Amino acid sequence: SQKIEQNSEALNIQEGKTATLTCNYTNYSPAYLQWYRQDPGRGPVFLLLIRENEKEKRKERLKVTFDTTLKQSLFHITASQPADSATYLCALVPFTGGGNKLTFGTGTQLKVEL
């Protein structure tokens, strides 16, 4: 069956360190993968999109890698700050027609401590 797995346990790191979050998937052929941030009581906020033919994408302190052989994406936040504390969701869009409905992982909660 198709699965998207993210660490269910919260990730606690110290301010200034690099946070690395993992997204693994099985039985998907994603056209692209997206990362979102969700704060309590709010909707997801788009962060980055990476296509299946791209290895790495960067945006300011964020970096995403995509390994279609390992079926894994890594999401890095460098020089982390307490304001980065949130739940981070990965979402896949498969190679099928009819729009790009997103299939989400359950998210990993990140806490950045002073």
Partner 1 sequence: NAGVMQNPRHLVRRRGQEARLRCSPMKGHSHVYWYRQLPEEGLKFMVYLQKENIIDESGMPKERFSAEFPKEGPSILRIQQVVRGDSAAYFCASSPSLETQYFGPGTRLLVL
DSSP state of 107: -
Q: C-alpha 105: how far from its chain's center?
A: 9
Using the rule CB under 8 A, is 44 a contact of partner 1?
Answer: yes
Comparison of 5 and 11: residue with beta carbon closer to partner 1:
5
Which position among 29, 55, 100, 113 is part of the footprint of partner 1 (CB under 8 A)? 100
Using the rule CB under 8 A, is 59 a contact of partner 1?
Answer: no
Q: Where are the beta strands (DSSP E) in 7-107?
A: 11-14, 19-26, 30-38, 45-51, 56-59, 62-67, 72-77, 86-94, 103-104
Rg (CA), the chain: 14
Which position among 11, 72, 103, 111 is part of the footprint of partner 1 (CB under 8 A)? 103
Using the rule CB under 8 A, is 28 a contact of partner 1?
Answer: no
Q: Give the span between the Cα atoms of 97 and 85, in whole angstroms.
A: 35
Instruction: Report in angstroms how near the CB of residue 97 gets to partner 1 at its nearest.
Output: 9
Interface contacts to partner 1, rule CB under 8 A: 32, 34, 36, 41-46, 49, 89, 91, 98-107
